[in-house]
Amino acid sequence: MKSAVALYALLALSSPLAAAEEWGPMELIWQTIQPGEKLKFSFVRDRSFEGSYLGIPVFAARGKTAGPTLCVTAGIHGDEISGVETARRAFFQADPTSMAGSLVVLPTVNASGFRNGDRYLPDRRDLNRYFPGNMTGSVASVIAKAVFEQVIRKCDALVDLHTASFHRTNYPQIRADDSDPKTLELAKNFGGGVIIGGAGPTGSLRRAAVDAGIPTIIYEAGEPMKFQEDAIDQGVRGIVNVMQYLGMIAGTHEQLSESRIFRKSSWVRVPPKQGGFFFPSVAPGDSVRKGDVLGEVIDPFTDERYVISSTLDGEIIGMAVPQVVLSGYGLVHIGIPGKAK
């Protein structure tokens, strides 16, 4: 009997007519969002000391007609403010009265880190290594579990927004598990920049979400602690592209081709005993050939100059910004298009 009921539910979902008739309010965490409505609220109403870590802002827009739920997360690393602004703009421009489906945005998943300009949680844990989380662990595990169970499991697709980490910048890129066909399609339809193939680290939101059957991509562009207009603009366009791809809004967009998928990459590093001040002469997105000069490292005590050259042909997908560097530090990340692992 139970399986017959489940089958009936499945058949009802697969019929557009039935779905339209059944479309109604969305229950999300403790809030109800009516069709055509847009709301902002706090993840928990608990104002205790511990509960404050889950005082994450939640933005939800419920379309007037049936459709998928697209989720957007940002600020899992609290210092990646370009992603937070991308999420804010994407939600601001969403119009639930002309939209199908639902848009759910968590703009600062690591809300305490965001307020302090800190990548990590107050206990110095990286939230993006604790998904899908558990309720009996550290604050990171509890936040991860609550977000995963109450929001992420309700998403039909997920876009997680990031920038490069400390003292690095990234060319706009989509990170996606290209072995998962639905995730790869989502990545291609986000558009812009390049796709970096791979499953992502254990405990990352995107890996846990893909494991739970939810197509998930990361959009990652620019540096932390900066608002970078080009990175933000391209991110917002990518979210609009995905909404078109999912049939939530009208319009067409270009897809990224296979040639923009990078499955292999390599770092050019500071050679042994050649540390000092790094001054790059290339920029993210530049094409380079083996032997091309990427920049120089100057020893501040001896004035000795070390030329840094590319070790392979490819495109610059990420790099260090000017700074003090030591032997072995990754300077320039070069992606090799079109090649399998």
For Zn ion, which is the closer residue by CB, 38 or 206?
206
Pattern 21-60, Zn ion, x by CB under 5 A: ----------------------------------------
Q: Could you tell me if 270 and 324 are in contact, meaning their C-beta atoms sit under 8 angstroms apart?
A: no
Find the part of the chain contacting Zn ion (CB under 5 A) among 158-166, 232-240, 264-272, 275-283: 158-166
What's the CA gap between 175 and 201, in Å, rounded?
A: 11
Tokens 């366009």, residue? 237
Compute the least distance from the CB of residue 217 to Zn ion, in Å. Answer: 13
For Zn ion, which is the closer residue by CB, 140 or 288?
140
Task: State yes or no: residue 125 binds Zn ion (CB under 5 A).
Answer: no
Find the part of the chain contacting Zn ion (CB under 5 A) among 77-85, 143-151, 172-180, 209-217: 77-85
Instruction: Write the single-letter amino acid at 319.
Output: M
Find the part of the chain contacting Zn ion (CB under 5 A) among 72-80, 239-247, 290-298, 305-313: 72-80
Tokens 């499953």, residue? 199
What's the CA gap between 240 and 190, in Å, rounded?
A: 8
Rg of the chain on CA atoms, in Å: 22
Compute the least distance from the CB of residue 295 to Zn ion, in Å. Answer: 24
Compute the least distance from the CB of residue 80 to Zn ion, in Å. Answer: 5
Q: How many residues bind Zn ion (CB under 5 A)?
A: 3
Compute the least distance from the CB of residue 157 to Zn ion, in Å. Answer: 19
Report the residue from 38, 62, 77, 145 that binds Zn ion according to the rule CB under 5 A: 77
Report the residue from 38, 145, 162, 188 that binds Zn ion according to the rule CB under 5 A: 162
For Zn ion, which is the closer residue by CB, 100 or 164?
164
For Zn ion, which is the closer residue by CB, 62 or 175?
175
Compute the least distance from the CB of residue 297 to Zn ion, in Å. Answer: 27
Find the part of the chain contacting Zn ion (CB under 5 A) among 86-94, 155-163, 236-244, 300-308: 155-163
Q: At what angle do helices 229-245 and 81-93 cross, to 10 degrees?
A: 50
For Zn ion, which is the closer residue by CB, 80 or 178?
80
Compute the least distance from the CB of residue 207 to Zn ion, in Å. Answer: 14
Find the part of the chain contacting Zn ion (CB under 5 A) among 12-20, 27-35, 79-87, 328-336: 79-87
Residues 273-292 that bind Zn ion (CB under 5 A): none
List interacting residues with Zn ion (CB under 5 A): 77, 80, 162
